[in-house]
């Protein structure tokens, strides 16, 4: 039987999702959730950035509703203005760093011998095991940046991942500049390591200065409670 505490946590996450969804829709945007990553690739190729992360490409991974989803935000004309995606891995038998060693080699090193993957990854990644969610491919159209939409959009992705999977950890890889400016803390990450994956020779499209940014399951539940408190208190 699920305890009362767990029941309340689920209700809090569901209520927080409703709050951030309302904030997004108040800006005239409509939201869509899907697990069709063929459609996601087509959608991404039509954006100004055109960047589909290998982690969310059906060319590399079998992505389906039990283990992955993407979110799209559309304006009143039906034009896509934001995307993001998340997936979950069961890493009981290896750490996140060991998972990177296998996965990054498959995606980048095997196809291109010029690419050199290192072994001195973020310290915390060597101790992170269990059910681990990855959040990425976040894009917001240029003219909508800086108006307060990035935070609720990203938080929505975090909370949906929490509700679906209750992961031990949810992580991302963030440019050092964004992490240092506080973007990670505003969207809901609570732990920061000034190195992500380690490269001797990175692929051209991958930043070698990424930070590992992550939250535990408890951190994510704290984010949900924080969102609810702010909605009760109203604007300052």
Q: 5 near 51, Cβ under 8 Å?
A: no
Q: How far apart are CA 115 and CA 1, in angstroms?
A: 50
Residue with tokens 């979110």: 71
Specify the pLDDT at position 225: 96
Provide the number of structural domains found in the chain.
1
Look at the pTM and tell me if it is higher than 0.75: yes
Specify the pLDDT at position 234: 63
Distances (CA, A) of 97 to 74, 121, 127, 128, 187: 36, 7, 8, 8, 24
Helix (H, G, I), strand (E, B) or coil at 75: coil
Residue 104: which domain range? 4-233
In this structure, what CATH number is given to the domain that contains residue 49? Answer: 3.40.630.30
For the chain, 236 residues long, the average pLDDT of each consecutive 10-residue run is 67 96 96 96 86 92 95 96 97 95 86 86 96 96 92 98 98 93 94 90 84 97 95 67
- In total, the chain counts a number of residues equal to 236
């Amino acid at each position: 039987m699920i305890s009362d505490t767990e029941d309340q946590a689920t209700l809090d996450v569901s209520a927080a999702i409703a709050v951030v969804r309302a904030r997004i829709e108040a800006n005239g945007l409509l939201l869509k959730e899907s697990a069709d990553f063929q459609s996601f690739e087509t959608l991404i190729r039509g954006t100004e950035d055109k960047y589909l992360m290998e982690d969310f490409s059906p060319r590399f991974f079998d992505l389906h509703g039990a283990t992955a989803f993407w979110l799209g935000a559309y304006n009143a004309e039906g034009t896509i203005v934001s995307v993001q995606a998340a997936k979950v891995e069961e890493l009981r038998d290896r750490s996140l760093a060991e998972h990177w060693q296998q996965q990054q080699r498959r995606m980048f090193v095997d196809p291109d011998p010029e690419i050199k993957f290192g072994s001195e990854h973020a310290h915390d990644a060597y101790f992170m095991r269990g059910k681990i969610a990855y959040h990425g491919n976040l894009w917001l159209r240029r003219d909508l940046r800086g108006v307060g939409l990035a935070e609720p959009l990203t938080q929505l992705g975090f909370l949906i991942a929490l509700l679906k999977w209750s992961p031990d950890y949810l992580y991302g890889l963030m440019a050092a500049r964004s992490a240092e400016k506080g973007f990670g803390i505003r969207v809901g990450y609570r732990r920061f390591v000034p190195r992500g994956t380690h490269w001797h020779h990175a692929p051209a499209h991958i930043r070698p200065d990424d930070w590992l940014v992550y939250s535990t399951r408890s951190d994510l539940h704290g984010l949900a409670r924080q969102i609810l408190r702010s909605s009760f208190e109203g604007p300052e």
